[in-house]
């Protein structure tokens, strides 16, 4: 057990009849970046909150840094940092004052604290803003302060709950880079929750997929994608300038077609099973008078894994956030390489 940062056994949290976290058994190795991936309401935050001793489990147990989260909560807290979903900072205090306040709460000696704050501000390129009120910051700037706040006590284990949620692309990529550096240079174990597949794919050594409180799959992103490849699932990205609703309906009704998502006016993302899925899709579109401007089949993504395992689109659960996360998938850092045929 010595090489384990976190071990949970049947960890469960109920809110009345609702089972938010349902008998979760996970082991996170020291030095790992471990991702918890799932749509809104899957139970990610509740699981993190239990591990951070902010709420008690209803059932089951867990150890963090070898300490029991219930019986040794104080010890657990000494070894962890939490970047929570909701930023709790005082708008009228400066960045420096906010950090100092939280440092004091962690009992960090004054001299050490001052030095640590300066270091951390530099690390996220915020040293110029140390004396400015948090209230004047953009969301991206606030999140940088929120992130380094969790690092004041040099935690061995860092929990980050949706660390890039709502951030602009520039801040998102800087925070991701920062997470990677923390892991590589400082050997921190990082537990990260996200509903962005691309984030899990880019950053995590292993990913637990969580659906309705249950871990439904857990492996490296690469192995998870193999599950889909093995199941002979194809993702096809097709552009049809004269796309009609009828074409979409027909495609949806084809046996073998698992999902059809209309990404833009003329653009479809189709997931289908079977060897001849690709040809079948082309035939169907042509039979309906569709002109295909471009078509390519994509390598499996974690989205496909989620769909394959839970039988539902994750993006359907994150309406309104769809745009940003599609953009991500095709950006320069996108994990999906297309295989043009």
Q: Which residues are at the interface with ligand ADP (CB under 6 A)?
A: 15, 18, 20, 38, 40-46
- Pairwise CA distance, residues 259 & 312, whole Å: 8
Find which of ligand ADP, Mg ion, none residue 15 binds, CB within 5 to 8 Å per kind. Answer: ligand ADP
Q: Does 45 bind Mg ion (CB under 5 A)?
A: yes
E-assigned strands of the chain?
4-15, 18-24, 27-29, 33-37, 59-64, 67-68, 80-83, 157-161, 189-194, 206-211, 214-219, 233-239, 257-264, 267-273, 294-298, 338-339
Nearer to ligand ADP, 41 or 140 (CB): 41
Give the interface size with Mg ion as a residue count (CB under 5 A). Answer: 2
Find which of ligand ADP, Mg ion, none residue 163 binds, CB within 5 to 8 Å per kind. Answer: none
Nearer to ligand ADP, 45 or 171 (CB): 45
Nearer to ligand ADP, 46 or 297 (CB): 46
User: Length of the chain, please?
Assistant: 341
Q: How far is the CB of 47 from ligand ADP (least distance, A)?
A: 7
- Pairwise CA distance, residues 27 & 62, whole Å: 10
Find which of Mg ion, ligand ADP, none residue 46 binds, CB within 5 to 8 Å per kind. Answer: ligand ADP
Find which of Mg ion, ligand ADP, none residue 38 binds, CB within 5 to 8 Å per kind. Answer: ligand ADP
Q: Does 55 bind Mg ion (CB under 5 A)?
A: no
| Contact of 198 with 256, CB cutoff 8 Å | no
Q: What is the CA 279 to chain-centroid distance, rounded?
A: 34
From 22-30, 39-47, 49-57, 93-101, span contacting Mg ion (CB under 5 A)? 39-47
Which residue has 């657990």 as its token pair? 76
DSSP letter for each residue of 243-304:
--HHHHHHHHHSTTEEEEEEEETTEEEEEEESTTHHHHHHHHHHHTT---SEEEEEPP-HHH
Q: How far is the CB of 61 from ligand ADP (least distance, A)?
A: 19
Nearer to ligand ADP, 25 or 246 (CB): 25
Q: How far is the CB of 43 from Mg ion (least distance, A)?
A: 8
Q: Does 324 bind Mg ion (CB under 5 A)?
A: no
């Amino acid at each position: 057990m010595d090489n384990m940062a976190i071990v949970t056994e049947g960890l469960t949290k109920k809110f009345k009849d609702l089972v938010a976290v349902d008998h979760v058994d996970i082991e996170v190795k020291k030095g790992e970046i471990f991702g918890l991936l799932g749509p809104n309401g899957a139970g990610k935050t509740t699981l993190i909150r239990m591990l951070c001793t902010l709420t008690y489990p209803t059932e089951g147990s867990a150890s963090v840094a070898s300490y029991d989260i219930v019986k040794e909560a104080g010890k657990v807290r000494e070894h962890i940092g939490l970047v929570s979903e909701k930023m709790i900072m005082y708008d009228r205090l400066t960045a420096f004052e906010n950090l100092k306040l939280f440092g004091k709460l962690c009992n960090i000696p004054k001299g050490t604290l001052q030095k640590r704050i300066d270091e951390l501000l530099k690390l996220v390129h915020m040293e110029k803003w140390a004396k400015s009120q948090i209230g004047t910051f953009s969301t991206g700037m606030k999140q940088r302060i929120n992130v380094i706040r969790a690092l004041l006590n040099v935690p061995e284990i860092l929990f980050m709950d949706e660390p890039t949620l709502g951030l602009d692309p520039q801040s998102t990529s800087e925070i991701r880079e920062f997470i990677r550096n923390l892991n590589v240079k400082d050997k921190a174990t990082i537990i990260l929750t996200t509903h962005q597949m691309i984030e899990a794919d880019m950053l995590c050594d292993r990913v637990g997929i969580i659906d309705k409180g249950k871990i439904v799959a857990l492996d490296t992103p690469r192995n998870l994608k193999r599950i889909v490849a093995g199941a002979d699932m194809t993702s096809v990205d097709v552009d049809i300038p004269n796309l009609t609703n009828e074409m979409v309906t027909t495609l949806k009704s084809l046996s073998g077609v698992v999902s059809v998502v209309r990404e833009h006016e003329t653009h479809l993302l189709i997931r289908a099973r079977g060897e001849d899925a690709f040809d079948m899709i082309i035939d169907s579109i042509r039979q309906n008078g569709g002109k295909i401007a471009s078509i390519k089949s994509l390598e499996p993504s974690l989205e496909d894994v989620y769909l394959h395992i839970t039988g539902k689109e994750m993006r359907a659960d994150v309406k309104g956030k769809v745009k940003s996360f599609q953009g991500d998938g095709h950006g320069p850092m996108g994990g999906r390489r297309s295989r043009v045929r």
